Structure 1
């Protein structure tokens, strides 16, 4: 009995003897060609074949390379020892044809007369002759008996270039196995014009299923599970006459194609080769290239005398199921094949092609479905399991079906019979609730609270399995921590009939914790808290406790607390909306209530009517413990110097006549309280040239209408009309001459304010007399937009930080812009403000030099406030 190479691999690897020494070679004969020597094998060719071990491959991992990727080669490896021809032959070898150009040409296994002495041997022609047959002026193998070509390019089958016979001249027979007969191989070919006749050709691409004789994947495909793997098997069954003399052979050629399940295909079957062999033969391999090239190699050669394969045995199977219950079973578990080597009894379930189960023995081909009328349907797939689903009307009884299966060597089994007995269902029907989910790191207990997972009656036993065949019990069904499909089985205590159903378990990863940002408020009220870090498909939940408690908001990256009177902790999580809502750990976030100063700031009484002084005193309220105070200059005719502005009783130097405003700010944390004091400094009293009765402004459309009345004018030059958009900085926009009237006299002036974007505009009169002395009128102003805010900027003077206190009637965006004395922008920052009180801190760069700056607040594209600042 012939053994396949894979069937004998373990046995032969254990044999240390590689048999090659004797006049007639002993079988089986094994040569891996993986090492750098091959006893009894001679290498020749116009570019000789060679063993790659230690040259291009690591030692012990090589192969026999017949041709390289060069043109017009004919490389050969032939054996110097002989064997008798009367026993037939089985040959197996792996071959590789790869990394060439135009895929040329192929590999040929050949036998020749053993009487040819080694010195007289030479390979056949290159190219389409595959190193076995002739070309017009090149002879074939001396006394060749048979050449079996694995022809990628497709000319070995063609009767031109001096070859005898073949398929129709025309298109090449690519991807083909071609057989050519004997030839003398004489140098003078005119003596024999019948050498190496064509016998048969079969293209692998004409088979069903079709496949390529080589795979286009670069490099060698050495593993049977690789799609590019190829292994050839040649069977030569002797044909004898009445005197038991061999008159020829029945030739069969098979190729195994790699894949997840390696499959052997029959290319030629029982081809009559009617040429009597010589008494003894030798063998060899050739490879050839022509205008097209390939690297062509072989490995793992196995040879034995011919012995036909035997049919595998499919043993009868008996199974049971319940009414209406689909059941899987494994009919191959007791089947066996004798073709894997060894002695009977052969191992069950081994060397069988699980994908080859044929459920309909009366229909050609492999049928994976068989319907039995009135009984049910049998199905199978590549797993080797068979499923039977009874018809709804088939309450109980027996159903049978025959099947075939192939072994991995391609032999079909005897018919096996599957018998399935259908029993009545248990009275306790099983209903499974699926799917079920939980979140890491928790596990799922499918045995607890059965109403969650399944419902059943009381007269049955429930068990839990990892597979549908109920062969792998779940080790810990109370703590399943891995997602997957599991099975719950109910077995009736009365009938013993079982029902098994799947349940899908999903353990979902929890989201990563978010980043939380605390909120602040000065005094009791609502506090805005924020969270970040959510990816696409994630959201937030807000809680009032570190565990349990109440969900105060189910989504959104911000949360506005209810009114609180003291600092309070909240917690936020992040969860994945798409995967069952598994939440992260809760992250604490503080809603801070900062206490206001103990008492409101008090800058002291206004000081009016001071005359001819250069230094003045400021007297503010004393800060309480934990509070700080700071004096700042608000406005005035010049920029004075505040000495020790952090003291409540500071002094101010460099005073000139005019109207000053100073601000006293008390701060605790981010909360502030401010108060302004007005100080008016005049020159020595003198008779004013003008007595101003009134001064007013009214807004009409885009025009500010100014009106003023004098009761007396003496030595008056006139009135400079000055305008300010921030209440501090005034510029002259026009001049109206005086009348020097001693009676009531009214003046009017219209100012076009179309292009003014501030929240208000302020005006004052500079009353100038003939000797250019002057006095200022009171300031009047008119609002340009509704006042929906109160924004204070402190401290002033400042060092490296400013604080904005913004009381807003609605939420929105404001922007701070800071300019130096030259009008250059040195800082710009936007803020999102909520309705109510907002305390905003601005960190300023240490690169901002000391001096005068102007801070502007913008909202909705309009400047709504301007403050003059001093950087210390």
Structure 2
């Protein structure tokens, strides 16, 4: 069997597809052509359409070409749609990427206007074309003094350097990839205009070295060369340093023309006039030392001529010493000075210039006094022992006041330098050369010396009348022969015919001893002989009465001994007659005695009697002196020899302290040995040894009392310290 069936098979067209493709890149401003690939599949005919094209480009649907000149850069998505003729209709769309690159970045050429050193300058670089904005700019190679503004593209400033400069400007866009364009521009900077500044030049003076520098030219092209004309005589111009130097020889006002020429091409030249005033040399009176003159002597000297100034020169002088005159024509000081001293002579010189110059100088002129002279003179004779007055002559000449001095005067005479008198009573005789010296007040000082002879004759030898006191047998006797006066010492004394038991000491003129025979001795001769040649002699006759007095008590022993702090006195008599008592007398200096005790005598006895007395608690600071005063029943008395004693521990100085009712501290210092130091310092101290007060004293023999005020001291125990070079001691004292 066969069977048949019809089946319908529908065959649809292939799927419409737009193939992918990479479009060539375009560039702004350049013609562009690109063809979109033909679609496959679908039912023909196929129609095309495109959207998203960059500005400046168009799409041809027949040829599928994109053509034109793009005006905008960027990356564009071009959507192409293909539509077939099928039923159903198919549509295919594909996006193609089209990159439009920017136009090429270009810096246009330009000619920059020329600049000038020192002149403000502005120029603008042309803007770059193409590229992707924003465009940034930079520049190198600018002349010194100019700067580039990358925002405004302006070159501005004031150039300080001239020459031809190549300025390289670079423009950089904002594209990716980035574009860079560089162009060089030529800039000519001309030199500044050559200028010589004005200036006031210093004033010069004839005869004085001068130096001034003219100002340097500004502008132009270095090196600059200089020249000068019209210089005053004596001055020259140094073109290297621009200095005008030298010593001008003529006065006046001069116009000096300085010319500066630069090294430019074309060369610049400029001239400037400068004024130099040259004044005359300073009028000067030279210093000089004038010869000294002397009162009464002819004098002449010449003041030196002035230098400088404008002749003729006139002169005047003041302060010329009396007796001298000044001649303005010859400049001489002449005459005979009548006054001494140091004078300042002021000389004034005046020139004939306009303005006029005046110079004054002080010259010292010394007029020495007339020579100092002491006149001769004969002095009246003097006599030893007789009042004398003589006046030495006054000096002449010299400069007053005149001072006088004398040497060689006899003893007893003095010289009064004010009155020039020699006065007094001469005590020696002979021929004396009195040397008088006069010294004036001048500078230099004058001195004159003259010898004057003065004869002093001896005085007559004299002696007062001699009267000798009466003596008593068995009693010590002392008398002195009066001192002789006048004559020539030394004197020699002799005494003859003295009573037995008495002797004469010619050295002390003392008659002493114990007369052993009573009576009236009337033929005692006293002779005095001086040492003169010839010798003078005086002899006097005197008398001496010695009376007989029975001896009431015969003292055969008397001793004083130290016994601890006491002194033990012992004495003995061989016989006594009407003996009332013995007084014991004590002294610490051997001169001033006081009674410290007494013992009754035995009346009348013919046998030995022994006596003993204790002087208790005596001061160990002293040497102690004792004597006995024996008193008869009728009141008559005799003194024994003196005995002395030092206690154990004798120091010669002792100290103790106490307070008085007013609380003041009283210090007692006993000073018993004058061979020890007198200089003593007493200190009042607290118990720590701190000195509160001190006093320095010079000890006197005996008891010395020193008082310290205690008004500022509180109650308590204080120390007293004594410092003496010979002894030191301390004591405590209590203040209530």
The alignment's TM-score, normalised by the length of structure 1, stands at 0.22
Q: Which has the larger radius of gyration?
A: 2
Higher relative contact order (CA 8 A, sep 6+): 1
Question: Is the helix fraction higher in 1 or 2?
Answer: 1
TM-score for the superposition, normalised by structure 2: 0.25
Q: Which has the higher strand share?
A: 2
